[in-house]
A and B are shown apart, each in its own frame.
Chain A
Amino acid sequence: MILNGKVPVSIEYFFTIVVCFCCLATCQFITKQLTLLNSKYCNQIILKFIMAEELQKVHLYYDDINKIRVIETNILKETEDLKDTCRDYDTKIQDFGKIINTLLDVLKELGDNVEKKKMAAIGSMNLLKSISKEREAEQAKLQAEINDKSMILEQLDSEYDALQILEATQMETIDYLTQIR
């Protein structure tokens, strides 16, 4: 049927029936085999139970993969859980420590920065103060100079006044004399 590609229907049916028969036979066989296997396995489990009960009396246990254990399975499980938890805890603690260290570093850096800024602030504050003092000194200096200059101005003013009076007197005299003439 593969050779020429044209399979006659009859042949097709035939094959189908054959395959069905074959399948049925195989199923019967497998079922027989399974029951056999089942009975064997059951025996084993029953044996195992019996053994476990015996071992339990001397505080020995089986585990899932049939290894003999000293500790009870659930306790073992819990212990292992505990172990895991502890490991977790340990890693977490380490992480925490790391975090704390970084935090400390950060804080220290911050502290340093703060200290630096503080010093700078104090310095600039002092500078400011000294500037204001300098300003005051400068002001005093300028004030003193102003005082000096104003004193000189006063002198010159009074000299000017005196000269004006003198001029007026002389003009008066001239007027008087010209009038007489």
Chain B
Amino acid sequence: MKLKISTFKEPKHFGVVVCVNWNNTEDVFSCGDDHKLLKWNLVNSECIVVTTFPDDFYPNDMHLFPKINVGGNKHQHDVILISTADGKFHIVNHNGRIEKSVNAHQGACLIAQWSPDGAGLLTAGEDGFVKVWSRNGLLRSTIVQSDVPCFSAVWSPDSSAILHTKGNSLVIKQLNSSNKITKWKAHEGLILCIAWNANNNLILSGSEDGYSKIWDTFGQQISVSVKHDQPITSVSWSPAGDMFVVGSYNLIRLCNSNGWSHCLDRPSTGSIYNVAWSSDGTQLAAACANGHVLFAHIIDREYTWKNFACNQVGRKVIAIRDIISDQSDQLDYPDRVIQIALGFNHMVIATVKQCFIHKLTSWNTPVTFDLKEGTISMILLAERCICIVERAGLSVYSYMGRLLASPRWGARPESLGRAAVSLGPDALAAIDQGDRKLIHVFDLPTGLIVRSSADNTVTKLTHKMTVSSIALSQTGPINERQLALLDYNRDLYVVTVKDSKPKFIKLGSQILSICWSCETELLVGLRASSVVAWCCPRAAMQPDWLALTTVSKDVVDLGRNPTILSIEDGVAHICRGNGSILHLSIAVFPEKLLKHVVANMWQPALQLCRTVEDETLWACLAVLAWQHHQLPVAEEAFALIHQYHQVCYIQHLRSNIPEKLMSN
């Protein structure tokens, strides 16, 4: 992954650019020490001066009103909050007219931020005060008073707390309970910039000591960057939380959320005072000390699926390659490519205006359909449908480009992470953003069923703990749809969605990441130093069966925070903490067996087991045959894994009531 950096030839600001912010995915506002507010349009490469402020107007921070889908006058949302060096904050509309100026601080007002829900705003100043104001600029409360200047302050994603800097410490202050604060020493030098991501709930800090560090909300260090020669002047999370960017003197670095660096660029721009991501997470704008506003696109994103690999080589160009037949092609799109998804024999490309569905067997004739809004944050693929997450909401399409459903549950889709949504072939599951114990599972209309709004039935599952990650099984009929979930304690549970009384069955603990196989009901989980495959997650009713059908393999040096990307034919693809991909053969035969079972081919399954002579495999076959009421197969399998009581039971059943069971 790389940054493709572009600047306009002439700097349009005379002097330092202090702050930039995206209006939408094409428009950027920037404000600098030359008192000008500029608006840049990236599509037609235009830059217009919105307004020139008075000569004593030296901006420090700028924040556009968050794009939230709430009712009310749209005009009220088009406002910019700017803090200035004379201690004031100003509310400016998009035409550049100052609507309100409020005296907020002694000395400079360094930070001004709208709350994510748009209900209020915070300011922080050189006098060490952090204050919360109502939307109209009336003082609500003074949150923090201290004797050192507060250089940076941000809202928590749910607007319930404030994170601010105090010298070289970070402090989280809860707003509702008056004295609950979390404070920790974060750096050796003064902390200059912080960011808090809504998706992964992690905090990023950059300091004068040249390090940028990632923290969780308890102040535990997740990762630390390499040392930079110059102070870190800006940090910013991508909206999806999978990347962040660090700005310093003549330096801009793109990092993965695990802290390792994707790429490093050294534009000669002077210090980069502010970096902002566009809401689709593919573009960056940076405010530079030499008067330039720097724009960067993320290119070189690589995706692979089976024998296909695709790579975004330019803003509008995708290179696709079939490794087996060595066919390759460059696909050009009319607009900028935002999101790419590859899988299930399809490649789905979302550009600003349209969505292209390419069949991998004939990728030159895509199915296209128009998108509602150019802010796609995610594309999920499943066997029969595509889920596109836009700011306006989630939509599920078929591979023919037909809209199947638009599930709604009061979510803010732009802050929806990959862990919080899961798409199955006929269902969509999502964690509720308000109450994270609650999971919504939407049934999707499939095949040729005519869509009507009524048949979108929703199943609500409530776990006892906060759920951090969910995954829907990818095969099987809809009434056997299983949902795997990781909760806050890193315990793995599996629940069958369509049960009348859904029961959460615990499969294991200390699981970091989970993934279902695309073709079978094989669930793979990742522990700190091992990979575990549950071949029959539904065998969890009987603990001894679960133990027998579980394969575990020790892996060294997985690194910090590894994730499992996919599992294909029993080979797990794991992204290690350092960003390298580990291909681990863990359950090749069980997956083959599972495929036979899905196809209802019991004889080949038996043959496979007899050939391989593996106890786990026999156990899987036994359990699956038992569940599918294949008593003769189950009998043989149970005998071979020494479950003689079960053999006796089956023999008893077969001799007594054979017809009834066989008819099932």
Check: A44 CB closer than 8 A to any chain B CB: no
Within 8 Å by CB of A155, from B229, B557, B579, lies B579
Who on chain A is nearest to B555 by CB? A162
Q: Are B585 and A155 in contact (CB under 8 A)?
A: no
Q: Are A177 and B226 in contact (CB under 8 A)?
A: no
A32-40, A65-73, A146-154 - interface stretch = A146-154
Check: B261 CB closer than 8 A to any chain A CB: yes
Check: B578 CB closer than 8 A to any chain A CB: yes
Who on chain B is nearest to A145 by CB? B264
Q: Are A173 and B581 in contact (CB under 8 A)?
A: no
Q: Which of B569-625 contact A (CB under 8 A)?
A: 571, 576, 578-585, 588, 611
Q: Are A141 and B266 in contact (CB under 8 A)?
A: yes
B576, B582, B588 interface centre (most CB from chain A within 10 Å) = B582
Q: Are B260 and A151 in contact (CB under 8 A)?
A: yes
- Given contacts A140-B229, A151-B260, A166 and B585 within 8 Å (CB-CB): yes
Within 8 Å by CB of B585, from A140, A147, A148, A169, lies A169
Min distance, Cβ A164 to any Cβ of chain B, angstroms: 10
Residues of B within 8 A of A170 (CB): 585
Min distance, Cβ B250 to any Cβ of chain A, angstroms: 9
Q: Are A166 and B584 in contact (CB under 8 A)?
A: yes
Min distance, Cβ B68 to any Cβ of chain A, angstroms: 38
Who on chain B is nearest to A158 by CB? B580
Min distance, Cβ B592 to any Cβ of chain A, angstroms: 11
Interface size of B as a range: 20 to 34
User: What secondary structure prevails in chain B residues at the interface with A?
Assistant: mixed
Q: Are A163 and B611 in contact (CB under 8 A)?
A: no
Residues of A within 8 A of B588 (CB): 173
Per the bound structure, the CA–CA distance linking A144 and B251 in Å amounts to: 11
Per the bound structure, the CA–CA distance linking A157 and B578 in Å amounts to: 12
Residues of B within 8 A of A169 (CB): 585
Check: A156 CB closer than 8 A to any chain B CB: yes
A-B contact count (CB 8 A): 45
Within 8 Å by CB of B581, from A151, A154, A162, A180, lies A162
Within 8 Å by CB of B576, from A140, A158, A180, lies A158
Q: Which of A118-170 contact B (CB under 8 A)?
A: 137, 140-141, 144-145, 147-148, 151, 154-159, 162-163, 165-166, 169-170
B260, B578, B580 interface centre (most CB from chain A within 10 Å) = B580
Min distance, Cβ A167 to any Cβ of chain B, angstroms: 9
Q: Are B260 and A163 in contact (CB under 8 A)?
A: no
Q: Are A155 and B578 in contact (CB under 8 A)?
A: yes
Who on chain B is nearest to A164 by CB? B583
Who on chain B is nearest to A168 by CB? B585
- Given contacts A151-B260, A180-B611, A166 and B571 within 8 Å (CB-CB): yes
| Mask of B273-289 contacts with A, CB within 8 angstroms, 1/0 | 00000000000000000
Min distance, Cβ B616 to any Cβ of chain A, angstroms: 15
Residues of B within 8 A of A156 (CB): 580
Within 8 Å by CB of B582, from A151, A154, A159, lies A159
Min distance, Cβ A158 to any Cβ of chain B, angstroms: 4
Q: Are B226 and A147 in contact (CB under 8 A)?
A: yes
Residues of B within 8 A of A145 (CB): 264
Per the bound structure, the CA–CA distance linking A148 and B254 in Å amounts to: 12
Min distance, Cβ B55 to any Cβ of chain A, angstroms: 36
B226, B576, B585, B611 interface centre (most CB from chain A within 10 Å) = B585
Q: Are B584 and A162 in contact (CB under 8 A)?
A: yes
Per the bound structure, the CA–CA distance linking A89 and B384 in Å amounts to: 122
Min distance, Cβ B182 to any Cβ of chain A, angstroms: 32
Q: Are B580 and A177 in contact (CB under 8 A)?
A: no
Q: Are B578 and A154 in contact (CB under 8 A)?
A: yes
Min distance, Cβ B557 to any Cβ of chain A, angstroms: 8
Which residues of A are at the interface with B, using a C-beta cutoff of 8 A?
137, 140-141, 144-145, 147-148, 151, 154-159, 162-163, 165-166, 169-170, 173, 177, 180
Other than the known A162-B580, A165-B584, what 9 A-B pairs have Cβ atoms closer than 8 Å? A148-B264, A157-B580, A158-B580, A159-B580, A159-B583, A162-B582, A162-B583, A166-B585, A173-B588
25 pairs from A and B in contact (CB 8 Å cutoff): A137-B229, A140-B229, A144-B226, A145-B264, A147-B226, A148-B263, A151-B260, A151-B261, A151-B578, A154-B578, A155-B578, A155-B579, A157-B580, A158-B576, A158-B580, A159-B580, A159-B581, A159-B583, A162-B580, A162-B583, A165-B584, A166-B583, A169-B585, A173-B588, A180-B611
Which residues of B are at the interface with A, using a C-beta cutoff of 8 A?
226, 229, 260-261, 263-264, 266, 557, 571, 576, 578-585, 588, 611
The 6 closest A-B pairs by CB, nearest first: A155-B580, A158-B580, A162-B582, A169-B585, A166-B583, A159-B580
